[in-house]
Structure 1
Amino acid sequence: MAKTAPEIVREVVGRGYEVACCGYYHRSIHQMTPAEFVEDLRRAREALERAAGVPVVGHRVAHGRVGPSDLWVLNALAREGFAYDSSLMPLFRAFREEPWRRFVHRHRSEGGEIWEFPISTIRLFGFDLPIGGGNYLRQFPPFLMRRAVASWDRRFEAPFVMYFHVWELDPSQPRITAAPLLTRIRHYRNLERYEAILSDYFARYRFIGIGEYLGLRGERRREEREERFDPLPWREEGIPVRREPASRPGLEERPGVTIVVPCYNEEQGLTYLANTLTRLEEELGGTYALHFVFVDDGSSDGTGAALERLFGGRPNHTILTHPANEGVAAAILTG
Structure 2
Amino acid sequence: MSVDVEDYFQVWAFSDVVARESWDGYKLRVGETTRRCLDLFEEHNVKATFFTLGWVAERDPSLIRDIINGGHELASHGYDHTKVNQQTRLEFEADIRKTKAILENIAGRPVRGYRAAGFSIDKDTPWAHDALAEAGHQYSSSSHPIAHDHYGDANAAQTPFHPIAGSDFLEAPVATVNILGKRISTAGGGWFRASPLFVSNALIQRAANTLCGPVIFYFHPWEIDPEQPRLNRASAKSKLRHYINLQHMRPKLAKTLAKHPWQRIDQCLGLESA
Give the alignment's TM-score, normalised by structure 2: 0.72
Name the CA shift for 1:161/1:41 in 2 (closer, same or farther; >3 Å).
same
Greater RCO between the two (CA within 8 Å, min separation 6)? 2
Identity of aligned residues (%): 29
Q: Residue in 2 aligned with 1:178? A: 233
Q: Residue in 1 aligned with 2:59? A: 4
Structure 2 residue ranges without an equivalent (≥5): 1-55
Q: Residue in 1 aligned with 2:158? A: 102
Structure 2 SS opposite 1:107: coil
Q: Residue in 2 aligned with 1:196? A: 251
| Deviations, residues 163-200 of structure 1 (Å, cap 9, x unaligned) | 11111111111111111111111111111111111112
More divergent stretch after superposition (34-43 vs 145-154): 145-154
Q: How does 1:204-223 map to 2 (within 5 A)?
A: 204-213=259-268, 214-218=270-274
Q: Residue in 1 aligned with 2:193? A: 138
CA RMSD of aligned residues (A): 1.9
| Deviations, residues 57-97 of structure 1 (Å, cap 9, x unaligned) | 1100122443343343222212222111111111139363x
C-alpha contact 2:154 2:183 (8 A) present in aligned 1: no
**Which has the greater radius of gyration?**
1
Structure 2 SS opposite 1:150: helix
Q: How does 1:77-156 map to 2 (within 5 A)?
A: 77-92=132-147, 94=153, 96=155, 101-109=157-165, 112-156=167-211
Runs of 4+ in 1 over 6 A off after TM superposition: none
Structure 1 residue ranges without an equivalent (≥5): 219-335
Name the CA shift for 1:127/1:75 in 2 (closer, same or farther; >3 Å).
farther
Name the CA shift for 1:32/1:12 in 2 (closer, same or farther; >3 Å).
same
Name the CA shift for 1:215/1:31 in 2 (closer, same or farther; >3 Å).
closer
For 2:265, the aligned partner's letter is I
Name the CA shift for 1:71/1:113 in 2 (closer, same or farther; >3 Å).
farther
Equivalent pairs counted in the alignment come to 214
C-alpha contact 1:59 1:85 (8 A) present in aligned 2: yes
Give the alignment's TM-score, normalised by structure 1: 0.60
Out of 124, 130, 144, which is 1:75 matched to? Answer: 130
Out of 7, 15, 23, which is 2:78 matched to? Answer: 23
C-alpha contact 1:67 1:90 (8 A) present in aligned 2: no
For 1:94, the aligned partner's letter is D
Name the CA shift for 1:59/1:52 in 2 (closer, same or farther; >3 Å).
same
